[in-house]
């Protein structure tokens, strides 16, 4: 955990329509959104979520993914216009492969490099570290057919806080949350593309992680029906902001172009961490993923 923040902080999430948000619609957000300390967009916000079994060949990677510079342009304009830091879930091609990733922009719209939790190296792009290959939630996800898992988790130092990012399926792994908070993250952004089938546990899971790790959590999801070839999926929405005590502070409306905003005292994370004591009580020397012989 970093030092207590000096001022109140304002965090927002953008709930985008299924199918991906077009560049003009990104720019239009400048008419309704105001200045935030952080704004979070969903996973693969710029494209349909195509890693589903039986998708139409038109949605094969490379057909609708563009270079990162082209994808980021409207978000960079928006970040400058709103003087806001942003986390954007993006799908783009680097010329060799298509990537499911997230980037962090500062208030000037510039890419911010994150520090690797394993190597300490700095990277401008966070690639999703846990790929989703799940037959559940009423859908079949096959991300291994499209992406490569990222090599490590990252944290970013912004002008108001240190943040971490977990993309969609990443959120299911408690060790990922613990790694980010061990590296002093105050806020965890969760860009996601979560279908209706996740509804029974969607909020509760992240509320538990927020409480256990004493962090602010900003969840941005898409909403509405997306039909790709044989796949027909309805996305849940429920973009939300969760306080470090695990309580939902604000949740987006049911529409496909909704936002949610919450303001916290700069001391919120430090106060909750001190009162609950969970960060200091963790004993990583006891935890292992390897069975004893």
pLDDT (0 to 100) of residue 288: 81
> Do the beta carbons of residue 257 and residue 278 sit within 8 Å?
no
Alpha-carbon Rg of the chain, whole angstroms?
A: 18
Beta bridge partners of 224: 235
Rounded-to-integer distance, Cα 83 and Cα 85, Å: 7
What's the chain's length in residues?
Answer: 293
CATH fold for the domain made of 9-286: Nitrilase/N-carbamoyl-D-aminoacid amidohydrolase (3.60.110)
Statement: the pTM of the whole predicted model exceeds 0.85? yes
Encode the chain (293 residues) as per-residue pLDDT tens digits.
556 565 899 999 999 999 899 999 999 999 999 999 999 999 999 999 988 877 766 666 666 678 999 999 999 999 999 999 999 999 999 988 999 999 999 999 999 999 999 999 999 999 999 999 988 777 788 899 899 999 999 999 999 999 999 999 999 999 999 999 999 999 999 999 999 999 999 999 999 999 999 999 999 999 999 988 777 889 999 999 999 999 999 999 887 779 999 999 999 998 898 998 888 898 988 988 778 76
Rounded-to-integer distance, Cα 51 and Cα 127, Å: 15
């Amino acid at each position: 955990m970093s030092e207590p923040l000096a001022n109140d902080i304002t965090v927002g999430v953008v709930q985008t329509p299924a199918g991906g948000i077009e560049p003009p619609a990104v720019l239009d957000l400048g008419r309704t959104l105001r200045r935030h300390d952080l704004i979070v967009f969903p996973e693969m916000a710029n494209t349909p979520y195509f890693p589903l079994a039986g998708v139409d060949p038109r949605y094969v990677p490379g057909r609708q993914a563009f270079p990162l510079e082209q994808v980021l342009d409207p978000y960079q304009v928006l970040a400058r216009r709103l003087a806001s830091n942003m986390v954007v879930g993006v799908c783009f091609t680097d010329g060799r492969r298509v990537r499911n990733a997230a980037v962090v922009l500062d208030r000037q719209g510039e890419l911010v490099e994150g520090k690797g939790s394993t190597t300490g190296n700095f990277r401008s792009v966070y690639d999703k570290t846990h790929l989703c290959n799940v037959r559940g939630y009423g859908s079949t996800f096959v991300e291994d057919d499209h992406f490569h898992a990222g090599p490590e988790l990252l944290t970013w130092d912004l002008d108001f806080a240190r943040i971490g990012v977990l993309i969609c399926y990443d959120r299911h792994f408690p060790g990922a949350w613990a790694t980010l908070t061990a590296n002093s993250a105050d806020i965890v952004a969760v860009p996601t593309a979560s279908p209706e089938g996740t509804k029974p546990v969607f909020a509760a899971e992240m509320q538990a992680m927020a409480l256990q790790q004493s962090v602010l959590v900003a969840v941005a999801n898409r909403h509405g029906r997306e039909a790709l070839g044989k796949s027909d999926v309805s996305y849940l929405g429920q973009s939300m902001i969760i306080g470090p005590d695990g309580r939902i502070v604000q949740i987006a409306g049911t529409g496909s172009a909704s936002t949610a905003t919450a303001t916290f005292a700069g001391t919120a994370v430090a106060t909750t961490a001190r009162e609950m004591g969970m960060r200091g009580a963790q004993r990583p020397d006891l935890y292992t993923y390897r069975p004893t012989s």
